[in-house]
Amino acid sequence: MEEKFLKAIKEIRKTDKKINFDQTVDLIINLKDFDIRRQAFNVFIELPYKIKDKKIAGFLEKNSNIIDSIKKEEFPRYKEKKDIKKLVQKYDFFIANTKLMPIVAASFGRVLGPSGKMPSPQLGIIQNEDDKFLNDAIKKINSSVRIIVKEPSIKVGIGKESLSDDNIAQNALAVYNKILETLPRNKDNIRNVKIKLTMGKPVLVEI
């Protein structure tokens, strides 16, 4: 399958018009015979190669030198929903100390949840605020993608144009395999697979 992804990646590069920014390579998996209303699909996938550094903040008990910190005593500052929205829009992801999670969920959950940025046991909840634990969490977040299926088509960024073809193909394979094993009927739930650049046309991947 990796060879098939490589072939499609080379094809999108051929049709690429030179754009003055580092385009994202998107993997599109169109589903069939999958009821999005009845079948939950919410997975984190760790990629072999990082796409980009995410802007991360932490709900922490003390200030950190590594990431922006929102301490418990600062939570009342975000009483209004509009203030929470501004905060959530400012960052790509949030980390939280496990001790603070109940109050984080109560205070920020109404916005963090729907935005897909709520810290979870799989990604973002930490037991310890020491630099090592924070750095480990940040490294994992920066190399992971989250997929929540809300329509019968999955679209996920798997790399930047500047990554090598091999690295993009390995990221594509990691995402494809995880989605395949999560779908109830595996390959029978997949209509087709495509790859595209931000500004380019999709290219079909043979499956």
Q: Does 66 have pLDDT greater than 70?
A: yes
CB distance 195 to 5 below 8 Å: yes
Q: Does 40 have pLDDT greater than 80?
A: no
Buried b (16+ CB within 10 A) or exposed e, 142-152: bbbbbbebeee
Indicate if 88 and 135 belong to the same structural domain.
yes
Indicate if 99 and 168 belong to the same structural domain.
no
Which residue among 90, 123, 142 closes a domain? 142
Indicate if 67 and 125 belong to the same structural domain.
yes
CATH, residue 194: 3.30.190.20
Question: Within 13 Å of residue 32, how many CA atoms lie on the same side as its CB?
Answer: 6
Band (16; pLDDT cuts 50, 70, 90): low
Indicate if 100 and 125 belong to the same structural domain.
yes
Sign of the CA dihedral running 69, 101, 130, 52? negative
Indicate if 90 and 132 belong to the same structural domain.
yes
Q: How many domains does the chain have?
A: 2
Indicate if 187 and 136 belong to the same structural domain.
no
Indicate if 128 and 151 belong to the same structural domain.
no
CB distance 147 to 153 below 8 Å: no
Band (196; pLDDT cuts 50, 70, 90): very high
Q: Does 59 have pLDDT greater than 60?
A: yes
CATH, residue 117: 3.40.50.790
Indicate if 60 and 137 belong to the same structural domain.
yes
pLDDT digits (tens, 9 = 90+) for 140-186: 999 999 888 888 999 999 999 999 999 999 999 999 999 999 999 99
Q: pTM value?
A: 0.84
Domain with 100 in it: 56-142
What is the C-alpha to C-alpha distance for residues 99 and 105, in angstroms, rounded to an integer?
Answer: 11
